Each structure stands twice: as structure tokens, then as C-alpha cells.
Amino acid sequence: MGFEITYFYKESGDEPGTYKEEVLSKTTKVGKFEEEVSLDVLAGKIIAQLARRNILIVDIEIFEFT
């Protein structure tokens, strides 16, 4: 089974440590419909986005392909 992840985030502002008020979204797919994807791979993709310094993740939605 594959997953679809929707990230809701804020971009960094002009000064370090500040973020813009506008909440943007980005959707990515992990794996394919017939492919088995482990939760470790899914967690790695999410943690990679959380580690970025130029965006602030405010919410994540995960949908599963079965």
C-alpha cells in the first residue's frame, strides 16, 4: 500500500525565526497503489520535511492507498 501526504506549512519570513501568516499546502505520494511501503519510509519522508529550516510544518494529513 502507498500513502499520500499533505503538508500544511508556513514559509520563512524576512528575519530569522519568523514565518509568514499564509498557510500553504503541498501533497506528495509515497509508493504506488500496488507497492508495499513500510511505515519507516513514511516516517522518514515526514521527518525530512520537519527538519527543514525554511518552512514551518503546522499540520500533516496522511491517506492510505489499499
Phi and psi for 37 in degrees, rounded to 5? -115, 125
Output 32 or 46, whichever has higher pLDDT: 46
Residue 33 has pLDDT above 80, yes or no: no
Across the range 13-37, mean pLDDT stands at: 90
pLDDT computed for residue 66 by the predictor: 65
Strands 55-64 and 24-30: unpaired
pLDDT computed for residue 1 by the predictor: 82
Residue tagged 501568516 (cell numbers): 21
Give me the percent of the chain exceeding a pLDDT of 70.
Answer: 98
